[in-house]
Structure 1
Amino acid sequence: MAVHFPIALILAAALAQVLNLIRGKDAYADIVRFLVWTGALGGVAAGFFGWAHAGPMASAEAGVMLTHRWLGTGLTFGLWLVVAAEEWRRRNPGALSATTLNVSLFGAAALIALNGFLGGSLAHGGMRHLFGG
């Protein structure tokens, strides 16, 4: 739960931001803020538990594990940049702050989806977690 919940929170934040863009107003701005903050806080727990589960880094660590480990570590810290972008947009509404939030949030959501795929590959044996076999 500590790993999957932050994934869902950030993906839900991206969806809420899409709804903001479609509606042309910040109808979901408070929801985005809540989800980004809780996703970043949960990301700290996910990063901690990820490192605890994987153990120390091996010198010959496989590419998928190495990528998953460091992408997850980057996201653990990078989600705080999304929080900063959200807070900047809230305090300084404008095109630049809105664009910064959109790029950081949608970029983080894409990287989280990629890292979730890599985690599924590690846990369930390659592409089999997609096709059930």
Structure 2
Amino acid sequence: MNIAGDDMAMGGMHDEGANKNKSFGERLVSWLGRVHTMVIHFPIAMFIGAFGVELFGLWRQNRDYQRAAHVMLVVGALGAIVAAFLGWFAGGFYLWDRNPILMTHRWLGTSIAIFGIGLAYLATTYRRAPDRSRTVYWGLLGLMTLAISVQGFLGGTFMHGGLNHLAF
């Protein structure tokens, strides 16, 4: 059973011959889904990088790093929206999946995109009030980093064949 569609068979490899009998719309949906795996790495790097920059700024006791982290969060949030949108093309437009890994990955990714916008907004409000405690923001950014790590593991699990894909 291939939940993700014919294009995702054999570990994500695409069979060009399969497109000969598809309409332009079907080929476009298939292509948009395949672009998901290329786009996801940028928002991952931006969110995790923003967390790292914030921690570095805390360690150095220098608020100048907050601006860089804020920009990274905004760019990461926009990228996460694109990645989540393309992920729906990759996995199909279903609210429920028979594959629990795909379903968890789908909804966690959608939640990360939505939560990313909220986190970028929160960073903006904290930048406008620099004397305000940022403890809640740092905690939420840490949770976002953890959620992205779980999300990456689930995506790798789905694409590379099971829960043991990172076995040592």
Question: Normalising to structure 2: TM-score of the pair?
Answer: 0.72
Note the C-alpha offset of 1:14: 0.6
Matched residue type, 1:40:
A
Taking the aligned partners of 2:79 and 2:157, their CA distance within structure 1 comes to 22
> Any conservation in 2 of the 1:6–1:43 contact (CA below 8 Å)?
yes
> Any conservation in 2 of the 1:85–1:100 contact (CA below 8 Å)?
no
Taking the aligned partners of 1:77 and 1:45, their CA distance within structure 2 comes to 11
1:99 and 2:166 correspond: no
Match of 1:112 in 2: 148
Secondary structure class of the residue paired with 1:109: helix
Taking the aligned partners of 1:127 and 1:6, their CA distance within structure 2 comes to 24
Secondary structure class of the residue paired with 2:39: coil
RMSD of aligned residue pairs (Cα, Å):
1.6
Residue number among 30, 34, 55 corresponding to 1:18 in the alignment: 55
Distance 1:84-1:128 versus aligned 2 partners, 3 A rule: same
Taking the aligned partners of 1:58 and 1:16, their CA distance within structure 2 comes to 36
Matched residue type, 1:8:
A
Q: Which has the larger radius of gyration?
A: 2
Note the C-alpha offset of 1:21: 1.3
Note the C-alpha offset of 1:58: 6.7
Matched residue type, 1:53:
A
Match of 1:126 in 2: 162
Uncovered stretches (5+) of structure 1, i.e. residues with no partner: none
Question: Normalising to structure 1: TM-score of the pair?
Answer: 0.90
Uncovered stretches (5+) of structure 2, i.e. residues with no partner: 1-37
Match of 1:87 in 2: 124
